[in-house]
Structure 1
Amino acid sequence: MPFALGHRAASAGYRLAAFDQIGSTNAEALTRAREGERGPIWFVTPEQTAGRGRRQRAWIAPRGNLASSILEVVDVAPAVAATLGFAAGLSLEAALQKVSVEAVLRLGRADALKFSLKWPNDVLAGDKKLAGILLEAEIVAGGGLAVVVGIGTNVVGAPEGTPTPATSLAALGVHVSAEELFAALSDAWVEFRGIWDNGRGFSEIRQLWLERAARLGENVAIRTGNAILEGTFDTIDETGCMIIRLPDGKHVPVTAGEVYFGTTASVGSA
């Protein structure tokens, strides 16, 4: 079936640009923003040939996975716009819950899958990465900040040899299409984007995100460049920074880095 917005997204005025194949939905969205597109508009494809993740890593995915990017132009500071990534994680988690529950019911199973959110931008199934989120922003002519939130989800297959082991919905026994997942995602985005409300509702987004956070209260190791910080994942603050509690009780905010569960032993082998 073709890609289509969910009913709630269509009613809210979102638009859709769907491609059979494209290099990068994020790149296409940014190009359109530079050309005057102001959104809100989704860019989606089941096959992305030049996708990228954080730190310009290649995002390699087989045909049938979901690559999606939402473009909106907002009048907020870049630091506030960055917190929209947490709303994106909540949106995808809700969409995954919806399609997985429906798939489990079709199979006659009683056990629903559980997903969690890994700071700052991954969705996990167990300890395996199911999806990644990449947020990019540019100031555009005429004022405003063009924010593109890219969401890549492993629907039919997952890459191998990644720092965090990856999985797919198909491997979890959830056999849905990228199109079905996208319809649920577009509707969930309307809900959590509305709660976020240009940053004014981030306190509620923060609380909802923490309720779904992976390994909250457990030991983590964060690699930033050549430095490694170890401690307990305490919370995220009002700006979205990860707060680590060190063994001496000191709390340290982390703005960026690669997060590994456990200790430096796992970091060294990742």
Structure 2
Amino acid sequence: MAADSGWPTGVGRRIYDTLDSTNAEAARLAPELAGPTWILAREQTAARGRRGRPWQNPAGNFAATLVSRPDEPPERLALRSFVAALALRDAFVAVTGRPGSFALKWPNDVLLNGGKVAGILLETLTGGGTPWALAVGVGVNLRMAPDRAEVEPGAVAPVSLMSETGACLTPEEFLDQLAPAYAMWESRLTTYGFAPVREAWLQNAARLGETVTARTGRDSWEGRFETIDDSGALILVTARGRQAIPAAEIHF
């Protein structure tokens, strides 16, 4: 489903020339925001990916964070990674017209022609041990992809939207597509629960039914990617039986 280009009602937008990171700005702004707000930076000086890894953000690429205060338990907040992935796919299809070129890599990447074009970073902002705000960070290689030597060994090679499809967008133009797509999938989640989000995500999942390797800092599983469960955990059929893996990185 393509994204509607109209900005979603009740959602704010702040655009900066330079920030340390949009997730960091989300943490600073969260206490004063009246509602969900997108924070976009044309340049980031201290961008981060998963597990604190540096995130390369060349000029012209997309870096934004949606900060909100959903009144939900942490396990429910984590489902926004699937909401964000579907919204990204919708935005990409809207600007390229190429639905078959994009796939969703569990748990939080979007692939274009098999290469990584976008990543998602969720962070909960806590006070007194209780989550009180959620930051959904999104990075997209709009114009340039990091050099392959800059990514960790075994990771999917990065690609850019422009080099793979010829689409040339500013970060602001891409946000105009992403924000309404995210609002639509968020509405589905809050209205109907995770089931329709899960179904749509699985329809676009990379390597579903194929053998993959899931790794954490301590453990590794190899098996057939069967599905994701109602909590978003990866379900692998391994030599040791069916395994539910709540968090890991998968390798093809």
Relative distance call for 1:183 and 1:231 in structure 2 (3 A) is same
Partner of 1:244: 236
Root-mean-square deviation (Å): 1.9
Shift of 1:136: 0.5
Aligned equivalent of 1:197? 190
Give, in whole Å, the separation in 1 of the partners of 2:131 and 2:242: 35
Give 1:49 shift. 1.4
Find the counterpart in structure 2 of residue 260 from structure 1.
251
Q: Which amino acid is the alignment partner of residue 251 of structure 1?
A: R
Deviates more, 1:37-46 or 1:228-237: 37-46
Q: 1:17 aligns with which of 14, 23, 32?
A: 14
8 Å CA contact 2:215, 2:221 repeated in 1: yes
Q: Distance in 2 between matches of 1:15 and 1:205?
A: 24
Q: Look up the equivalent residue of 2:58 and give its one-letter code.
A: P
The answer as to 2:94 corresponding to 1:98 is: yes
Q: What is the number of equivalent residue pairs in this alignment?
A: 242
Within 5 Å, give how 1:147-186 maps onto structure 2. Answer: 147-160=134-147, 161=149, 162=151, 163-172=155-164, 173-186=166-179
The amino acid of 1:201's aligned partner reads: G
Distance 1:112 1:190, change over 3 A: closer
8 Å Cα contact 2:10/2:35 also seen in 1: no
Q: Which moved more, 1:170-179 or 1:39-48?
A: 170-179
Contact in 1 for aligned 2:124/2:131 (Cα 8 Å): no
Query: Runs ≥4 in structure 1, deviation > 6 angstroms?
Result: none
Cα deviation code 1:15-46 (max 9, x no counterpart): 1110011110011001112x333521000022
Shift of 1:253: 0.5
Question: Corresponding residue for 1:215?
Answer: 207
2:25 alignment partner in structure 1: 28
Q: Percent identity?
A: 38
Letter in 2 for 1:121: N
Q: Which residue of 1 aligns with 2:121?
A: 134
Following superposition, the deviation at residue 144 of structure 1 comes to 6.3
CA distance in 1, matches of 2:27, 2:58: 23
Q: Does 1:116 align with 2:103?
A: yes
Q: Is the 8 A contact 1:140 1:146 kept in 2?
A: no
Taking the aligned partners of 1:206 and 1:112, their CA distance within structure 2 comes to 18
Q: Which has the larger radius of gyration?
A: 1
Q: Which residue of 2 aligns with 1:73?
A: 69
Describe the SS at the equivalent of 1:52. coil
Return 5+ residue gaps in structure 1 as ranges: 102-110, 262-270
Q: Which runs of 5+ in 2 are unaligned?
A: none
How far 1:140 sits from its partner (Å)?
4.7
